[in-house]
A = this chain, B = another copy of it.
C-alpha cells in the first residue's frame, strides 16, 4: 500500500510531538526534584507565571480540585514562591500571585543549563525559521486548549 509523503510526515510529526511531551514530563520531574517541590506544585508555578489568578482558576487550569489547590498554595506560600491575598472587591476570592523574583531565584538556575543547550541547538535556524516554529507552537497550543475544553465539557 502506498502512503503519501504527506501522510507519512504527519505521522512522523505527531510521533515527535508525543515523544517531546514525554520528555517534557521527565524534565519537569527532574526540575521539581531539584527545586524541592512536587510536580503539581511546579506545574502551578508555571501556570502562575502567566499572571495572578484566583485559587479556583488555578485549580481549574491545573486540573485539580479547589480542596487540593489549598494545599498547593500552602506549600508554595511556605516556600515563598507565591503570595496569597484576599481580593478587595470580592472578599471570598483569594488571589494567588507569583513572587517572581523569589521564584526565579530558585527555578531559573535549574533550567539554565537546559536553556543554554537548547539555545545552542537553535543557533543555525534563521529568524524566519524560528518564527515559523513559534507559530507552529502557538497553533498547537490553541488546538490543545480548544480540544481540552471540548473533552472536559462533554
Contacts and interface: CB of A to CB of B under 8 A. Distances in A.
Interface residues of A, number: 64
**Interface residues of A: mostly helix, strand, loop or mixed?**
helix
Contacts of A12: 134
A141 B110 CA distance: 18
Given A13-B137, A20-B140, A30-B63, 9 more contacts: A5-B127, A14-B115, A18-B46, A20-B144, A24-B144, A25-B25, A25-B43, A122-B139, A133-B136
Interface of A: 5-6, 9-10, 12-14, 16-31, 34, 43, 46-47, 49-50, 61, 63, 110, 113-115, 117-119, 121-122, 125, 127, 129-134, 136-148, 150-152
